[in-house]
Amino acid sequence: MANVAAYNRKVSGLLKKHGLVTDEQSKALSEKAQKEGLLVGTLAVGEDLIDEATLLGLVSEDSQVPPLDLDKMRVDMDGLIEQNKGNPPMTEEMAKFYCVLPLAMVGDYLTIAVANPYDVVMLDDIKITAGKQLLTVVSTERAINKAIELTYHAKEQEVQSFMENVGNDGEELTVTEKKDEEEEHDDGLEAQGEDSPAVKVVKTLIMQAIQKGASDIHIEPFEKRVRVRYRVDGVLHEVFNPPKRLEKAMVSRIKIMTDTMNIAEHGKPQDGRFQVKIGGRAVDFRVNSLPTVHGEKVCMRILDKGNLAGSLETLNFEPEVLKIVQRCIDAPYGMVLVTGPTGSGKSTTLYSCLRAVMTVEDNVTTVEEPVEYEIEGLNQVHVNIKRGLTFGAALRAILRQDPDTVMIGEIRDQETIEIAVKAALTGHLVLSTLHTNDASSTISRIKDMGIEPFLIGSTVLCVLAQRLGRRLCKNCKAPMTPEEMPSREQLLEVGYRPQEIEGLVLHKPVGCSLCSAGYKGRFAMVECLEMNDKLRAIIVKGGSAIDIRACAITNNMVTLRRAGLMNALRGVTSVEEVMRHTVGEEVGKEEKPAEKKAAEIPAA
């Protein structure tokens, strides 16, 4: 601090005036302060003669400057720099020299915290240097010095805090897949070793994401900052803002960990994968980089085998849906299709179906891009388009391998669907996924891909449309009070049936230390369209998706909204969560029009 003599005289007098120290103690404090160039108030607090709050009150009352507890606030230095046309209102060196801290700025007025409000020369110097009118508040030397470190080194402090808060319980994270030695690297990051900041941050991000049960990690560069978000239970949460200077090193580190990505290439998207071992289990990561305006955005999808369902029963489908699925996968031939957006659990459902049909007597083969989970007992083929191994080429080869069951990761083109239909017609059970919004529109999608309607009716056994909703936390969920419950009209509008409304009690999210905003974990909402003679007749006659849906609803098809509402009725989730994933299609309002439309279609 600059001139402290006036401050020490004032504070010594205040301590004696209020009887807080004896003459001997006051003399000893003054001598020590003069000898070591320290503040009398700081020495008095350090020797437990007074507490910090008392010192702050004394100085504030005497100087007529309002007090401020800096321990209870954080200064937005980025905001101050932006307000001050890209420059900090004062440098870190100046703040430390005078023991002051800039707090806020409005127009030409700068608010600062000072430990010595009596030093008018210091205040004039700051006023001239900053070019602002000053508004002062008083704090303590300790609090200001601590706040200076937090304010001017916020990113470093955030990185350190983030890394310290990941308790790995002695678990070590090891990367088990590396880049080929032949590939060139542009910055020699391997030589930085495990102690480089980028390596430590990436390792910490991966460990924390696995511990939180995240499904994706997003590293997003912006002009002045980098944002890291985790997708937990289907919802993105911002968790960290690493320093902008670490961005390129972090991206390069992730590329080095993969098997195919080139760190010298920044102008085009790249894909790769790697595997880590933590806590005795292997976790696979699929990595994609995307060039953006301010750098490369990286998305890492986490494929944890520990989260893979073991059997169909563990998926918690509606009982009637589970019966249909089991009946269809027990069939000797035909197609079972699962639809839904990315991340809706389609692969998990297919793998569970495969587990149900896997026996020593059956030859089960999959063709995927990429192979998401490696499972013992499955013959899994990884599509490689660059080498000519497309879905179509792989399927043709597989059909010459005497298969019983074939799983196709995704049907994307006409060639693939044609081979899949031929396989289903020639005595094979085919499981696959399609990207459609609901079960009935899947039939129209297959027709648009060039398959004759009579072949669709002959091969498709059932279509599942799937979404993943968030479960209410079992620890904190609470029943709605009568005042919070939706009205009868609202419940009917949502899709509940009149007989279900009487005595209905819905639950709401609350939030606790064990969950995220009242939700923890996810469950599957599944719409199941099972083929029957009426539906086949509609398909062969060229009926639309609306016709197919109308007929299916009259035959008691469980729709997406209905599956969600039943889970809300059982207290598994909230109605708001069901509404977030489904559209207004529902049973209470649409059964009558569906019956009428179905009646207009000739029976088989």
For residue 370, cis peptide bond before it (omega within 30 degrees of 0) = yes
CA distances from 37 to 3, 8, 27, 41, 85 (A): 9, 10, 15, 12, 36
568 touches 486 (CB < 8 A): no
**Cα-only R_g, the chain:** 33
Using the 8-state DSSP alphabet, how is residue 307 labeled?
Answer: G
- Give the pLDDT mean for 404-429: 90
DSSP state, 336?
A: E
Half-sphere exposure of 484 (CA within 13 A, CB side): 12
| Helices H / strands E in the chain, number of each | 24, 19
3-state helix, strand, coil in the chain (%, to 5): 45, 20, 35
Distance separating alpha carbons of residues 193 and 199, to the nearest angstrom: 8
- CB of 118 within 8 A of CB of 93? no
Q: What is the mean pLDDT of residues 322-329?
A: 92
Rounded Cα distance, 477 and 472, in Å: 6
Q: CA 170 from chain center: how many Å? A: 25
Query: pLDDT band at 602, cuts 50/70/90?
Result: very low
Task: Take residue 20 and report the two structure tokens written for it.
Answer: 């807080």
Q: Which H or E run contains 93?
A: helix 92-98
Which residue type, as a one-letter code, is found at position 281?
Answer: R
Say which range, 13-22, 401-410, 473-482, has the weakest mean pLDDT: 13-22
Task: Calculate the alpha carbon distances from 271 to 84, 210, 258, 327, 372 in Å.
Answer: 42, 21, 9, 38, 14
Cβ-contact 352, 312 below 8 angstroms = yes
Which whole-number Å values give the CA distances from 575 to 136, 336, 343, 457, 590, in the listed order? 52, 30, 21, 35, 19
CA distances (Å), origin 522, targets 309, 317, 445, 473, 488: 12, 12, 28, 10, 28
Q: What's the rounded mean pLDDT across residues 52-71?
A: 89
What pLDDT is stored for residue 134 in this prediction?
92
* Rounded Cα distance, 33 and 38, in Å: 5
pLDDT at position 592 is 38
Which tens digits make up the pLDDT trace of 175-194?
665 444 334 344 434 434 55
Higher pLDDT, 5 or 177: 5
In 335-449, where does DSSP find H-type helix? 346-357, 391-399, 414-425, 439-448
**Measured between alpha carbons, how far is 541 from 497 in angstroms, rounded to an integer?**
33
Mean pLDDT is lowest, of 44-48, 130-134, 438-442, 492-496, for 44-48
| pLDDT value for 446 | 93
Closest Cα to residue 481, out of 507, 500, 499, 501? 507
Which residues have a Cβ under 8 Å from the Cβ of 415 and sit 6 or more positions away? 390, 391, 392
Identify which of 209, 245, 437 has the alpha carbon closest to the alpha carbon of residue 341. 437
pLDDT exceeds cutoff 80 at 306: no
At 158 the pLDDT is: 60
> Could you please report the per-residue DSSP string of 372-404?
-S--TT-EEEE-BGGGTB-HHHHHHHHHTS--S
Q: Which amino acid does the sequence have at 452?
A: E
Both tokens of residue 393?
Answer: 């080429």
Whether residue 322 is predicted with pLDDT greater than 50 in this model: the reply is yes
Cβ neighbours around 501 below 10 Å, total: 15
335-387 pLDDT, tens digit per residue, is 999 998 888 888 888 888 888 888 888 899 999 887 777 788 888 898 887 78
Q: Which range, of 72-86, 202-216, 248-262, averages the lowest pLDDT? A: 72-86
Phi, psi of 143 (to 5 degrees): -65, -40
> Looking at residue 185, what is its pLDDT?
42
Q: How far apart are CA 113 and CA 106, in angstroms?
A: 15
- 88: which residues sit within 8 A by CB, 6+ positions away? 77, 80, 81, 102
pLDDT higher than 90, residue 196: no
Exposed (0-12), middle (13-18) or buried (19+): which is 299, by Cβ within 10 Å? Answer: middle
Q: Which residues pair with 275 in a beta bridge?
A: 284
CA distance 254 to 297: 12
Residue 466 near residue 346 (C-beta atoms within 8 A): yes
41: CB partners within 8 A, 6+ apart: 7, 11, 55, 59, 115, 140, 141
Highest mean pLDDT among 38-47, 244-253, 270-279: 244-253
Q: What are phi and psi of 364, to 5 degrees?
A: -110, 125
Confidence (pLDDT) at 188: 39
Token pair listed for 569: 């009725």
**184-198, 446-460, 588-602, range with the lowest pLDDT:** 588-602
